[in-house]
Amino acid sequence: MRVTQSMLTHSSLRHLSQSYQNLHTLQNQLSTGKKISRASQDPVVAMNGMRYRTQATEVSQFKRNLSEVYNWMDNADAVMDKTGSTLHRVRELAVQASNDTYEETQRKNMAQEIRQLREHLESLANTKVNNKFIFNGTNTKDAPLSADKINMGIEVLAEDPASHVITYNSEVYELDAEHEGEGLVFRKADSNETITITDLGGENQELIFNNGSGQTNELLERQIVVSEKGAVSTNNEKVEIELMKGVNVPVNVNPGKVFSADFFGDIIQLEKALEDPATTSEELIGLIASFDRQIEKVVNERAELGARYNRVEMIDDRIQEQEVIAKRILSENEDVDIEKVITELLAAENVHRAALASTSRIMQPTLMDFLR
Amino acid sequence: MTSTFHGLETARRALATQQAALHTTGHNIANANTPGYTRQRVNFTQTEAFPSPSFNKPGIPGQIGTGVKAGEIQRVREAFLDTQLRTESNKHGYWEGRHTALHKMEDIMNEPTENGLANTMDRFWQSLQDLAVHPEDSGARSVVRERGIALAETFNHTYESLEAIQRDYQNQIGVQTNKVNSLLTQINNINKQIAGVEPHGYLANDLYDQRDLLVDELSQYINIKVEQVGSGGLSKEVADGRYTIKLLNDEGKETGFTLVDGRSLESNEIHFTYAGEDGSGPVNGIFIAPAKIMDDIDHVNELHGDSRAIFLESMEDFNSPGKLWATIEAYGYNDKSGNEKGLYPDMMKELDLMAATFAAEFNAVHSTGWSMSEIEEGTKSGYNFFAFAEVTGQPSINPDTGNIAGAAKRLMLHSDMEDLNNIAASGAARNGVEREEAFSGDGSNALALAGVKDATLNFGSTRTNIQTYYQGVIGEMAVKTNEAERMTKNTAVLKDSVEERRQSVSGVSLDEEMSNLIQFQHAYNAAARNITTVDEMLDRIINGMGVVGR
């Protein structure tokens, strides 16, 4: 083939530009650390890159969510721990008081201590973490417990019995509308146990407890505790936080199972019993059983929380692992192997130098240089 | 017996001919770097020998040579390579044009990076997760709103950038059309000049070169076929004649349209029309009209109904590949059934579909939830999160009725969202049943909103989640760009190799010209020396003979 100067110039230029392009690509890879800088360089890497990035973002978000989950659970656990030990102290005092050797003033002092413990429990129920009430289900803005609406005195029932409840021996009784005309009948939910109040506030005021199968006994006014219905929140909804795709973990304890109306009712009932000199030790022993029930409820709820905590820890482990994997995959997909690129760069540079050198050798001499 | 001065005449002819060759060599050297120049060669022919065989020929032995003459000055060119080069250059023009368009689009889409739409969506999703964790926190709410705005703005910005490039491409179509028309006119003009020269037996080499260069250039824009038409008269056999240029389709077959007519020496012009009355919208037709009538009219639309112009209603009838077609394809055109097609319109439609589908689903989930203000009031108003800007003179965007053109450009936050407390984070519908009440600490709806990212939605005929859909869109674009880039490179290689072969035939080699120069110089010198010898011989005859004894 006939070769002319301009062909040489052209092809030299083309080769030089090609090796420049090569250098450019390698240079880009080195300075960005990425295999590709545009999607078209490798569509598969680009598409995977988008997916892996999303994955990595998700994992790091779930990790962030995790800290909030721990926040809720750790605080709830700590409060339940304190609640448990406080209840134990109350029970201790009840046991102590049930010993008939104590005098009236000593019992009153015990009642004093119990009142303090109750107030402590009230403040525990209204625990606020991060500006949220953690024992009020999803209603984290309002305090779950209004202490002044508990223990209203029996008189309030005369006015508006429907919006009040009675607690007695760890149970809650609500007004039963079916029994109109027979005095005020309060019934325990889902059972036939009733407390009937006749001649409220009158001389012949009577409180009759019916165990549902016809067995009745009369109650003293101090044995029951009347509270407003909203005194203890009944929002038992779960606060859920997503920790993995589609895995929502409830982070709050069910407040209805711990700080319920009967929980505080039982304590107040004990306080009142201790303040009444006529209270027998048998009655006090009977009340101890209430505290056993309450302690059991707290323990159960705490155990449930603990179990859930374990599960969260397992999820945590998995997220940590996933994070590492996600980042590794992301890196494997789009990060360059620096050693490889540098080696390639050196090779490309050699080629480029050779191209430059040969171009300079070829381009210069023509026949003109040798013709005299 | 030959003439006494026969030797002088023979040598004189040699001198003149070698001189002509030297001049041509000079011309070649001078044009060594002229684009489109074809090296020229003087065809030496021996002059008629003496005596010519006839009845009254003189009785001398044999025939005696009478020297040389310059037959014609011819271009050294291989027509087949021209055809090949034009085919390759046409393909290269198309793929290069297409690659540039896609490359720009890729720049705009900017994936995968930390600033693309995908990342904005991820961040929006994160803010919703944070809101789900802290539903009562107004800080989390404002982050959701800001990220929502960022998402809408990313859609707007991407769409508007695509629009800007698309507008650019409309200008490009105009510029390229003018270029093509100008090339056609110029070729026709050169045709006319050649038609004036060739019948006299001349070869218009430099005009041929110019014309070939123009045809080469034209072949980048549209696919063409060149036919030669003889000029008649005393035209030389090696004359190139006039060119008739015909339009070819993407299969390389004739479309039946002649752009330059070598016989009638007339040329046509092409003009595109647009769907919009103000000259906007997709290309929806093309006129092929004689250049001479274009001066009489002010606007292309006046050609409608003109019997001299041909109107192609569908761009699919003008399916001639090349740079021009790549530009039209990037800008957008109406196909036979009136649907808009094209790289940029397609991408814009994808964005519209994504924005509209996502916003509709997001709003649907949002409006079932309870916001802080609704919780406080105790009644649900059902606020929307996203909305579409109203533009005067354009229909409202409504994903339900299917009118989503421009959705990505007009996506914004609903005015309800001016109040942060109207973001509905709480009380997600359970099993499709809306809730009667909700509380501020409940982040379930925020979680449901975060879930929209992964929800299977209906994108036209595809059912998938928005991320996967977007990945598909980007993937398709990337593959197209990749293909265009590869084809650009491949066609460039082919084009270059043909160009090289053509150069190999037609290019000027200085070394070669220098050797020729020496060769012709020596021949010239030798001829001159020949004259000297004959001169000495004649001197002997004239001055040295018949002087015996003087």
Q: Count other Cβ atoms within 10 Å, centred on residue A178.
A: 8
Minimal C-alpha gap between B45 and chain A (Å): 25
User: Residue B317: exposed, middle, or buried by beta-carbon count in 10 A (0-12, 13-18, 19+)?
Assistant: middle
Contact A46, B474 (CB under 8 A): yes
B289 touches chain A (CB under 8 A): no
The C-alpha torsion from B16 through B22 and B28 to B31, rounded to 10°, is -90
Q: What is the pLDDT of residue B136?
A: 87
B113 touches chain A (CB under 8 A): no
Pairing of the two strands B68-75 and B224-229 = unpaired
Residue type, B114: E
Minimal C-alpha gap between A82 and chain B (Å): 24
> Between B106, B126, B514, which is nearest A371 by CB?
B514
- Please give the structure tokens belonging to residue B198: 């060739």
pLDDT at position A246 over 80: yes
Q: Which residues of A237-274 are buried (b: 16+ CB within 10 A; e: fewer)?
A: bbbbbbbeeeebbbbbbbbbebbbbbbbbbbbbbbbbb
B 482-521 residues with CB below 8 A of A?
A: 482, 485, 496, 499-501, 503-505, 507-512, 514-515, 518
**What does the mean pLDDT of chain A come to?**
89
Choose among B195, B193, B204: nearest CA to B238: B204
> Between A245, A248, A367, which is nearest B514 by CB?
A367
**A3 chain-B contacts, CB cut-off 8 A:** 504, 509
> Between A7, A61, A68, which is nearest B126 by CB?
A61
**B122 chain-A contacts, CB cut-off 8 A:** 53-54, 57-58
Contact A156, A165 (CB under 8 A): no
CB contact under 8 A, A6 and B508: yes
pLDDT tens-digit readout, A150-159: 888 888 888 8
Q: What is the pLDDT of residue B192?
A: 96
A191 touches chain B (CB under 8 A): no
Q: What is the pLDDT of residue A190?
A: 85
> Between B478, B507, B515, which is nearest A4 by CB?
B507
Residue type, B85: L
- Please give the structure tokens belonging to residue B259: 């752009």
Choose among A122, A88, A327: nearest CA to A232: A122
> Between B111, B134, B510, which is nearest A46 by CB?
B111
- Give the integer Cα–Cα distance in Å for B62 and B60: 6
- Please give the structure tokens belonging to residue B15: 């001198």
Residue type, B328: I
pLDDT at position A172 over 90: no
Q: What is the pLDDT of residue A179?
A: 67
Task: Please list the residues that pair with A204 across neighbouring strands.
Answer: none
Q: What is the pLDDT of residue A242?
A: 93
The predicted model gives A197-222 an average pLDDT of 84
**Nearest residue on chain A to B504, alpha-carbon basis:** A2
Neighbouring residues of B309: CB distance < 8 A, sequence distance ≥ 6: B287, B288, B289, B290, B293, B303
CB contact under 8 A, A138 and B438: yes
A 135-154 residues with CB below 8 A of B?
A: 136-141
CB contact under 8 A, A242 and B132: yes
**A131 chain-B contacts, CB cut-off 8 A:** 136
For an interface test with A, the pick among B370, B442, B479 (most A C-beta atoms closer than 10 Å) comes out as B442
Cis previous bond, B112, omega within 30:
yes
**Nearest residue on chain A to B130, alpha-carbon basis:** A65
Q: What angle do CA B17, B20, B21 make, to 5 degrees?
A: 90
**A234 chain-B contacts, CB cut-off 8 A:** none
Q: Which residues of B38-66 are buried (b: 16+ CB within 10 A; e: fewer)?
A: bbbbbeeeeeeebbeeeeeeeeeeeeeeb
Contact B247, B222 (CB under 8 A): yes
**A366 chain-B contacts, CB cut-off 8 A:** 510-511, 514
Three-state SS letters, B205-266: HHHHHHHHHHHHHHHHHCCEEEEEECCCCCCCCCCCCEEEEEEECCCCCEEEEEEEECCCCE
A198 touches chain B (CB under 8 A): no
**B441 chain-A contacts, CB cut-off 8 A:** 132-133, 136-141, 239
pLDDT band at A182 (very low <50, low <70, confident <90, very high): low
**Nearest residue on chain A to B375, alpha-carbon basis:** A139
Residue given tokens 């021009």 in the structure block: B324
> Between A7, A49, A133, which is nearest B112 by CB?
A49
CB contact under 8 A, B454 and A140: no
Q: Which residues of A357-366 are buried (b: 16+ CB within 10 A; e: fewer)?
A: eebeeeeeee
- Percent of chain A clearing pLDDT 70 (strictly above): 99
B80 touches chain A (CB under 8 A): no
CB contact under 8 A, A371 and B509: no
CB contact under 8 A, B111 and A139: no
CB contact under 8 A, A40 and B478: yes
pLDDT tens-digit readout, A78-92: 999 999 999 999 999
- Please give the structure tokens belonging to residue B510: 């200085």
pLDDT at position A174 over 90: no
**Nearest residue on chain A to B445, alpha-carbon basis:** A240
Name the 3-class secondary structure at B190: helix
**B125 chain-A contacts, CB cut-off 8 A:** 57-58, 61
Lowest pLDDT segment from A107-111, A190-194, B97-101, B180-184:
A190-194
Name the 3-class secondary structure at A132: strand
Choose among B80, B156, B127: nearest CA to B389: B156
Residue type, B498: V
Q: What angle do CA B223, B225, B229 make, to 5 degrees?
A: 155
CB contact under 8 A, B508 and A240: no
* Residue-by-residue pLDDT tens, chain B, 550 positions: 678 888 999 999 999 999 999 999 999 999 998 999 999 999 999 999 888 888 888 878 778 889 999 989 999 999 999 999 999 999 999 999 999 999 999 999 988 888 889 999 999 999 999 999 999 888 999 999 999 999 999 999 999 999 999 999 999 999 999 999 999 999 999 999 999 999 999 999 999 999 999 999 999 999 999 999 999 899 998 899 999 999 999 888 998 899 999 999 999 999 999 988 888 889 988 999 998 888 778 777 778 777 888 888 888 788 889 999 999 999 999 988 888 999 999 999 999 999 999 999 999 999 999 999 998 888 888 899 999 999 988 888 888 888 899 999 999 999 999 999 999 999 888 877 888 888 888 899 999 999 999 999 998 888 999 999 999 999 999 999 999 999 999 999 999 999 999 999 999 998 899 999 999 999 999 999 999 999 999 998 899 888 887 7
Three-state SS letters, B447-479: HHHHHHHHCCEEECCEEECHHHHHHHHHHHHHH
**A38 chain-B contacts, CB cut-off 8 A:** 103, 106-107, 481
**Nearest residue on chain B to A55, alpha-carbon basis:** B122
- The Cα-based distances of B523 to B10, B16, B67, B159 in angstroms read 13, 11, 12, 73
Minimal C-alpha gap between B177 and chain A (Å): 30
> Between A54, A132, A240, which is nearest B122 by CB?
A54
ipTM value for the complex? 0.86
- Give the integer Cα–Cα distance in Å for A274 and B44: 141
Contact A161, A295 (CB under 8 A): no
Neighbouring residues of B465: CB distance < 8 A, sequence distance ≥ 6: B453, B454, B455, B456, B457
Q: What is the pLDDT of residue B428?
A: 85
> Between A39, A235, A245, which is nearest B111 by CB?
A39
Contact B276, B284 (CB under 8 A): no
Q: What is the pLDDT of residue A181?
A: 66
A278 touches chain B (CB under 8 A): no
Count Cα neighbours of A4 within 13 Å in the Cβ-side half-sphere. 23
**Nearest residue on chain B to A243, alpha-carbon basis:** B129
**Nearest residue on chain B to A37, alpha-carbon basis:** B112
Q: What is the pLDDT of residue B292?
A: 85
pTM for this predicted structure:
0.87
CB contact under 8 A, A47 and B474: yes
**B475 chain-A contacts, CB cut-off 8 A:** 39, 43, 46-47
A67 touches chain B (CB under 8 A): no
Backbone angles phi, psi at B113, to 5 degrees: -140, -175
Cis previous bond, B51, omega within 30:
yes
